[in-house]
Amino acid sequence: MTNERENKETLKTREREQRLELRFPCRGTRRHLIPLFFDNAATFRPMSHATVDHLLGLLLHAFLPEADAAKYSFHSFRIGFACSLLAAGCPPATIQALARWRSAESLEVYARLNPSDYAAWVSKALSQRTDSITTRRLPRPPPIDESIIVASFSAASSLFDKAERSLSDAQLSA
C-alpha cells in the first residue's frame, strides 16, 4: 500500500512540475539561475523571507487558533526539519545541504537531539567499560535513571526555546 501511495504522490509532484515548467519555461543553464519560488514572474526575483513568513502565517491562521499560529515561523519549520533529519540518522553534511545552511555552525545550533536520544547516548556512555589511562583511576559512576535525564533535558530544551523566541521577538520589535 505504501509503494502505491508513494507512486501516486510522485506522479502528482511530476504533474505539478510539468504545469510549472509550461507556465514558466526555464531551460538549460537558466534553470540554475532562476529560483523555484519567486515574488515576480516577470523578473523572477527570489521570494523574500518576509513573504514566505507572511504566506505561512496566512496558512497557519486558516487552520490554527491565533495563539497557536503565532508560535510558528518559517524558521521554526527549518529547525524542526533539521531535528527530524538528525533523529532519522541523516549525515550532518546532508542536513546542512537540505536545510540550505551555509555553514556547519547553523547545524550545531539548530539540529537538536531529541531528549530520549540524548538520554540513550548518556546511558550507553555510562554502561561502557573504559580502560584508557585517562579514566582508569576515576570511580565508576552510580546508575542513573534515564527518566530523570529526559525530564531534565526536556526542561532545559523548553527554556532554550523560550529564550530563542524572546530573542526573536525582541529583534523583530527593534
> What pLDDT score does 37 carry?
78
DSSP 121: H
Q: How far apart are CA 20 and CA 35, in angstroms?
A: 12
Which tens digit of pLDDT belongs to each residue from 24-44?
A: 777 778 777 777 778 877 888
Q: Is 143 helix (H, G, I), strand (E, B) or coil?
A: coil
Q: Is pLDDT of 1 > 60?
A: no
Q: Which pLDDT value is given to residue 62?
A: 93
For residue 136, what pLDDT band results from cuts at 50, 70 and 90?
Answer: low
- Phi and psi for 80 in degrees, rounded to 5? -60, -40
Mind listing the pLDDT tens digit for each residue in 32-88?
A: 777 777 887 788 888 888 888 889 889 999 999 999 988 888 888 888 899 999 999
Are 157 and 115 a contacting pair, CB within 8 Å? yes
Q: What is the mean pLDDT of residues 100-119?
A: 86
**Mean predicted confidence (pLDDT) in 133-143:** 66
